Amino acid sequence: MKKVLLAVLAVALIRGVAAQAAGMECIVPSKPGGAMDLTCKLAQKGMQDVAGKDAEAAAMRISYMPGGIGAVAWHSLVSQRRAEPNTLVAFSGGSLLNLAQGKFGKANAGDVRWVAALGADYGMIAVRADSPYKNLGDLIAALKRHPDKVLVGVSGTIGSQDWLKIALVVKAAGMDPKVLRFVALEGGGETFTAMHANFVQVVSGDASEATLYTSGRTTRVLAVLSEKRLPGVLSDVPTAREQGIDVVWPVIRGVWMGPQVAEADYRKWVATFDRILANPQFAQQRAAYGLYPFSLTGTALATYVKQAVEDYGRRASELGLVR
């Protein structure tokens, strides 16, 4: 009898997840191809794995809303789609940095409902595979000699997360970041496209994005901004610390919802992601997407986000980005 009851409960759970997924939208606040895109795809895959073979789970769709390094998606949900119960938006540490610097206007971390952190990423610095720069030292030497001749592609503008990564790297090497030439692009996919077309010579981005481009041997990652070397396809890439530059930049990745989503719907999504994060299949999928374990949901995530925004604000102030 107990086994029958457990089987019934399992079927109910799967049907509940599938029904919740039906009509669900995960918004990527950038163009296709970057790490934000990966975040929504990871959430989508996690939902499908929990729902099993139920066809309704496939109804979960991904849409793209680029613009303003995330500001367009933020204001769309906060001002026009505040109560949609099945709409999630991908976010990263860069989103929190933008909040800290006021790039979303008067917005603050309490304006939305934080659902789940799905994993962690790390910053990295990359060049084309045929670049003359073989390591971080080569790149820094070139920047010191002729900073005007090396274009650095970043997702966002001055003060964005990708800008801050390379700015901290060159500052640690004794350079003023203001002498660098940056090209502001929309999303990680666009920065790599620009580099492979030789429109820019360097990309400051994320390790998860780099994993998409290293398999074709068109990209050379010079350094990862992690405490130690990363497993997987980037396992041979040295950290910046190993090369004498003490910069570490972790990147949280997850999803949030509109501020007026009903409490019952919000709690349902938090519970769903608790199940997803506990699923062994999800851990494998997360690793395949180039992300690393970092799991928080609901209130715990909201607390983390609030503290992270404060911390980012302090770091940005040190570079004169927040007044």
pLDDT of residue 138: 98
- Give how far the C-alpha of residue 192 lies from the chain's centroid of Cα atoms, to the nearest Å: 15
pLDDT band for position 22 (cuts 50, 70, 90)? low
Give the tens place of pLDDT for each residue, 268-322: 999 999 999 999 999 999 988 888 899 999 999 999 999 999 988 887 787 777 6
Average the pLDDT over 28-32 and give the result. Answer: 91
Q: Which of 175, 164, 196, 181 is closest to 314 using CA atoms?
A: 164
pLDDT of residue 54: 57
Average the pLDDT over 157-164 and give the result. Answer: 84
pLDDT of residue 53: 59
Q: What share of the chain is helix, strand, coil (3-state, %, to 5)?
A: 50, 20, 30
Length of the chain: 323
Q: What is the C-alpha separation between 308 and 306, in angstroms, rounded?
A: 6
**CA-to-CA separations, 143 to 104, 127, 140, 151, 169, in angstroms, rounded:** 32, 13, 5, 10, 11
Q: What is the C-alpha separation between 33 and 212, in angstroms, rounded?
A: 9
pLDDT at 175 over 70: yes
pLDDT of residue 13: 40
Task: Determine whether 102 is exposed, middle or buried from the number of CB atoms within 10 Å of its CB (0-12, 13-18, 19+).
Answer: middle
Beta-strand pair 250-257/25-28: unpaired
pLDDT of residue 274: 97
Domains of the chain as residue ranges with CATH: 2-119+251-318 (3.40.190.150), 122-243 (3.40.190.10)
If residue 81 lies in a helix (H) or strand (E), which one and from where to where?
none
pLDDT at 75 over 60: yes
SS3 51: helix
Lowest mean pLDDT among 24-33, 58-67, 145-154, 274-283: 58-67
On average, the pLDDT of the chain sits at: 87
Average the pLDDT over 38-47 and give the result. Answer: 93
pLDDT of residue 187: 76
